[in-house]
Structure 1
């Protein structure tokens, strides 16, 4: 083949690839554009704007944790809300909006998340988060309380139960665990076929290492929200993507994007090695509610069922057509389960 023909063929291939990429980009933009043109009932919702009295809590290792006290200051019961991995206290938007009318609320950003200070990699562990929660309770909760934890926040509560069991039944009167796990997350299939799931688990550790080593470079690529991240989050994080509000998707994406890559990498091993099944017996001393979406592929329903089997006092709520972010996707169902728990605590019934 002559040089001229090879150059011509190469040019044709590059041109076809470029045209294909351009068509894919246009199709993606067209899809996102159509989604955003649909009626959005949450378009005017003030996500990230609800605020309380700001407080700084000093953790046992000296790290400064950002917290807020909100709601009815004279309420006899305080609700402490513990958010999940790559999120912030603002992920409790709908729960704060409703419960602040009747209860005293304490919300806090887990170390390295939201407005809290960054910690060293070696101090990014679930046990350390449990110690942080103990500091929050010591400083901001003078009376009885109910702990509510989503995902990593639920693991934080389990770590507290292991380290400070004497608090449960005395200061802590109730616990709600939302979309969480007591362990064995490394075995989760992520909703994929077995072979593909194994491949993903092989690829993830080196990818996480790259995020830690080249965090600044990775974050520059994450600096602006993209159509691709919008579509991926919409389909992966919500059980009913066709009906989820684009505003809610954008809100979640902004919290994830605000979490530095190094932080994502630092906590990943802690999540994969998390094992607190033996500490769950402590929760039998308090009223417990376990809530999960039936399409949660990050912390599947089987993990919530395992917790329910270990905690005889627990009431399990499985929300249909819902994935990992149940508090934002199905706030009415989550709030109803929380209200039921609070009523049990306040009546002192099982």
Structure 2
């Protein structure tokens, strides 16, 4: 979402200023001052405090993240990290190569979870743990995947990044799950992807999809439903679009800047804006690491694609139960967006979670994943396999 990249870009400029300060201190230390001794012989006198200050600043630039994590987040009880299981690669009709992981048996529904922008499928660690515990009571298979260009998935050869293409990719995963019923979970742009699929292929939600969970998402251009939306919308063309286009053109420099801000901790400060007060150090580190090691050019293209995205009213095409969870402190997709979604849904329910921000499914994972587990159990009971139209065919072209 555009808010965090903007803040991170501004903090990255601060990081470059710090490097400029280091260069200045080292140069002035090496140059020193030339003085004459009593006999008239010139001597070069260096002020060593400049050298030590430069060394200290370099140390902060390389290791500041440790202090940022210490002061910005709480200690962990259940750590999360960017860990992968055994996945497979599959090709989508869009030309993208998708990395997909799945776990579970051959009974019950298939739950497909789509992550938010700037992340990858490793962000579902808590969900995997909770549904893994529930699997003995409610048999199912959990499928997680990396959006094209992120994680281990590859964008199409054209390099195009578009939410409509993500929806086609998701449709492919649903087709591969046939004939089992499917429950879709989407966070942020993952929720936008599900709504795009409902907009473009509404029949799918009566034939194959038996339930949808939307986490901290929106129904239109995120600039319109985020904090300071009038200002952010006004800044779109004069600032945001040029900034993201410049990031694509200067990808190597953007990569260097991203890792510098990660190491010095300013990236953690930017990502802290997505959390409420309950964030832990592993949660902040996990999200910041993913936002750093993913291609900055791809991230910029995705943010540009969101500016022209709209699926207003698409949720009405979901002929299945829809659970919407939003945070009361969400700055990136305000709770008002979730409230607007539930008003349009034909069978929707809203769970507003007090005190959480955009990454609420991490900082309040027990609440979010408890609701998801209950929803999966209810959906599996209401729409068993023999009531799903196994003959439904998808047009994926």
TM-score normalised over the length of structure 2:
0.74
Measured after TM superposition, the shift of residue 41 of structure 1 is 2.2
What per-residue deviation string (whole Å, max 9, x for no partner) do you get for residues 284-342 of structure 1? x1011001111111111111111101003111011111111111111011112212322
Question: Secondary structure, in 3 states, of the residue corresponding to 2:313?
Answer: helix
1:114 to 151, 156, 170: 151
Counterpart of 2:329?
295
Counterpart of 1:343?
377
5 Å-filtered alignment, 1:1-350, equals 33=67, 36=70, 40-42=75-77, 45=79, 47-52=81-86, 54-71=87-104, 73-101=105-133, 102=135, 103-119=140-156, 123-188=160-225, 190-192=226-228, 198-199=234-235, 202-224=238-260, 225-226=262-263, 227-234=265-272, 236-240=273-277, 243-283=278-318, 285-348=319-382
What per-residue deviation string (whole Å, max 9, x for no partner) do you get for residues 66-105 of structure 1? 101112x123111100111011011111001111341311
User: Is the CA contact 1:208–1:268 (under 8 Å) kept in the aligned structure 2?
Assistant: yes
How many residue pairs get aligned? The number is 325
Structure 2 unaligned spans of 5+: 1-48, 384-397
Residues 196 and 122 (structure 1), Cα distance of their counterparts in 2 relative to 1, 3 Å cut? closer
Q: Distance in 2 between matches of 1:197 and 1:238?
A: 23
Q: Distance in 2 between matches of 1:256 and 1:170?
A: 36
Q: Distance in 2 between matches of 1:83 and 1:341?
A: 18
Measured after TM superposition, the shift of residue 199 of structure 1 is 4.6
Question: Secondary structure, in 3 states, of the residue corresponding to 2:310?
Answer: coil
Measured after TM superposition, the shift of residue 200 of structure 1 is 7.3
For the aligned residue pairs, the C-alpha RMSD in angstroms reads 3.1
Measured after TM superposition, the shift of residue 271 of structure 1 is 1.1
Measured after TM superposition, the shift of residue 272 of structure 1 is 1.6
Question: Secondary structure, in 3 states, of the residue corresponding to 1:60?
Answer: coil
User: Is the CA contact 1:124–1:266 (under 8 Å) kept in the aligned structure 2?
Assistant: yes
User: Is the CA contact 2:223–2:233 (under 8 Å) kept in the aligned structure 1?
Assistant: no
What per-residue deviation string (whole Å, max 9, x for no partner) do you get for residues 179-230 of structure 1? 1111032324x43495587457742111111101101111012225232112
Q: Distance in 1 between matches of 2:107 and 2:131?
A: 11
TM-score normalised over the length of structure 1:
0.83
Residues 299 and 121 (structure 1), Cα distance of their counterparts in 2 relative to 1, 3 Å cut? farther
Which structure has the greater CA radius of gyration? 2
Residues 141 and 108 (structure 1), Cα distance of their counterparts in 2 relative to 1, 3 Å cut? farther
Residues 307 and 90 (structure 1), Cα distance of their counterparts in 2 relative to 1, 3 Å cut? same
What per-residue deviation string (whole Å, max 9, x for no partner) do you get for residues 153-176 of structure 1? 111111111222222122110000
Residues 122 and 107 (structure 1), Cα distance of their counterparts in 2 relative to 1, 3 Å cut? same
Residues 200 and 84 (structure 1), Cα distance of their counterparts in 2 relative to 1, 3 Å cut? same
User: Is the CA contact 1:78–1:141 (under 8 Å) kept in the aligned structure 2?
Assistant: no
Measured after TM superposition, the shift of residue 57 of structure 1 is 1.8
Residues 279 and 329 (structure 1), Cα distance of their counterparts in 2 relative to 1, 3 Å cut? same
